[in-house]
Chain A
């Protein structure tokens, strides 16, 4: 076995070890590279920034499950911080059964950090099953779908929800999802009711959403941890998104290096094989 073939058959545990090191090292030695803001992120920031304070609420759908938490929770924290800093009321809900605890965790963390009052500045509507039925139903009347909040208080008794009937009273809706929920909000809230929708999705999903951005069906988009990091830069509150960017930089560089190395080994081994075949002939 020549050196190229050895490289091609390298034990994958070495690759796993290299990836592990590339992820961990930047946490101890951060590079602190600057992060530029892309247009889809800027657009979402501007849309939220334009909501008048202490009026109609931002509807934040925290539709992610634990699997995609590391990518999407930094987005929910950044969006909540931005809204609360601007005194924008926030109503949070989830379409994912496992999103219940995660939504509450993010909401409570930021609300406590920024001294927000439940019922006046924010509320948690909880979870309802049936994605399309829930979204369409809210277009008719939110109370029909969520007669009470997650803690059993009738929605009509929550001061910040006073006068909020349906999507006509929601200036912006943002869905954070690692599955099809963000697309469902576009299809069932934007299309029939004209609701302005923004989204935050995992990096691998972001490519699917560019057609919606181009048509204006999506106001803006946060794609993966990079999207969260850009938003954190915009609100001037670097947190987990920015912290994760150095690890992502080093892992991307490592994967590129592995691809190049793999190709060198492949073509080297092929050349060697052909040379040996010629010699044998």
Chain B
């Protein structure tokens, strides 16, 4: 019964949302609109579950002194600090401690982490981008054209040439044709996969979202 009821709810709501897509009658669409609101509420409530799960996972890690348990202490401490300052004194008001910590700790930290990519990409390109085959050669030439064409220096280097010979034009051509064709194929494959997965969930074939082993 613990599995039958969620499966039945998933089937009924999933089928109803499909019907809504094909039947433009106002009774169907207003009921579907109501369900979309339920969706927003359910997702909002799931954030609480997420917080609860985060505490459970890290508490377990600390109590068992598993590898990296020190980081779990930092995670939970920071969460408590942000809850402490965010709860009574508000989160986004200008001048609030929460906002100050967000703008002066989280923003620079996350921006720095992302910026490190440039250093690692440069190092990886130096060590791994080798002209070993025709395909690798094509990739290498395309990469160089796009890297140059995406910056003003590329435009400057090919100034005075006919438009079709300039690096920005070549870059846009690579992006708009070979790149787009490849991505369209990937998108279509992914979309078919999503449709298949959606049907599997609605029909109760895919049950991993229920948790457990069976």
> B150–A203 contact, CB under 8 A?
yes
Evaluate whether A262 and B40 lie within 8 angstroms (CB atoms) in the complex, with A67-B110, A67-B113 already known. Answer: no
Please state if A129 and B43 are interface contacts (CB–CB under 8 Å): yes
Contact flag A262-B151 (CB < 8 Å), given A38-B168, A104-B92, A211-B183: no
Verify if B179 is at the interface (C-beta below 8 Å from A).
yes
Min Cβ gap A241→B in Å is 11
For B187, list chain A residues within 8 Å (CB).
211
Instruction: Indicate if B172 sits at the interface (CB-CB under 8 A).
Output: yes
Scoring A38, A39, A254 by chain B CB atoms within 10 A of each residue's CB, the highest score goes to A38
CB of B126 within 8 A of CB of A38, answer: no
A129 to B50, CA, bound (A): 12
- A66–B106 CB distance below 8 A: yes
Count of chain A to chain B residue pairs whose CB atoms are closer than 8 Å in the complex:
168
Partner of A34, one of B42, B115, B156: B156
Task: Give complex CA distance A150, B99 in Å.
Answer: 15
On whether the beta carbons of A210 and B151 are closer than 8 Å, the reply is no
Q: Which residues of A contact B33 (CB under 8 A)?
A: 137, 140-141, 144
A36-B131 Cα distance, complex, nearest whole Å:
31
- Specify which chain A residues have a CB less than 8 angstroms from the CB of B46 in the assembled complex: 129
Could you tell me if B36 and A255 are in contact, using CB atoms closer than 8 angstroms? no
B208 → A minimal CB distance (Å)? 20
What residues on B are CB-neighbors of A141 within 8 Å?
33
In the complex, chain B residues whose CB is within 8 Å of the CB of A207: 175, 179, 183
Indicate whether A259 reaches chain B with its CB closer than 8 angstroms: yes
Q: Tell me which of A39, A69, A245 contacts B107 (CB under 8 A).
A: A69
Task: Report the bound CA distance from A16 to B119 in whole Å.
Answer: 5
**Hey, which chain A residues are within 8 Å of B115, CB to CB?**
70
**A-contact 0/1 string along B137-161, CB 8 Å cutoff:** 0001001100110111101100000
Contact of A252 among B36, B111, B151, B179 (CB under 8 A): B151
Q: Does B122 contact A (CB under 8 A)?
A: yes
B123 at the interface (CB under 8 A from A): yes
Are A256 and B36 interface neighbours, CB within 8 A? no
Chain A CB within 8 A of B192 CB: no
Q: Mark B83-120, 1 if CB is under 8 A from A, else 0.
A: 00000000110100001001100111111011100110
Cβ distance A275 to chain B, nearest Cβ, rounded Å: 19
Question: In the complex, A128→B41 CA distance in Å?
Answer: 10
Majority SS of interface residues in chain B? helix
Q: Are the C-beta atoms of A136 and B36 separated by less than 8 Å? A: yes
Decide if A261 is an interface residue (CB 8 Å cutoff): yes
Assembled-state Cα–Cα distance A41/B121 (Å) = 27
Interface flags for A56-76 (1: CB within 8 Å of B; 0: not) read 000000000111111000000
Known: A70-B115, A101-B102, A140-B33. A210 touches B123 (CB 8 A): no
* Interface members, chain A 242-271 (any B CB < 8 Å): 245-246, 248-256, 258-259, 261-263, 266-267
A8 to B122, CA, bound (A): 14
* Bound CA span A16–B120, Å: 8
- Bound-complex Cα distance A134 to B38 (A): 11
Complex CA gap A69/B103 in Å reads 11
A8-B127, A261-B126 known; 13 new pairs, CB 8 Å cut-off, are A23-B118, A36-B168, A65-B110, A66-B110, A67-B113, A70-B114, A128-B40, A211-B184, A226-B151, A252-B153, A258-B122, A258-B125, A262-B125
Q: Which of A's residues lie within 8 Å of B, judged by CB? A: 8, 10, 12, 15-16, 18-20, 23, 31, 33-36, 38-39, 65-70, 98, 100-102, 104-105, 108, 128-130, 132-134, 136-137, 140-141, 144-145, 150, 192, 203, 206-208, 210-211, 213-214, 224, 226, 245-246, 248-256, 258-259, 261-263, 266-267
Taking Cβ atoms with an 8 Å cutoff, the residues of B that contact A are 21, 29, 33, 36-37, 39-40, 42-44, 46-47, 91-92, 94, 99, 102-103, 106-111, 113-115, 118-119, 121-123, 125-127, 129-131, 140, 143-144, 147-148, 150-153, 155-156, 168, 172, 175-176, 179-180, 183-184, 187
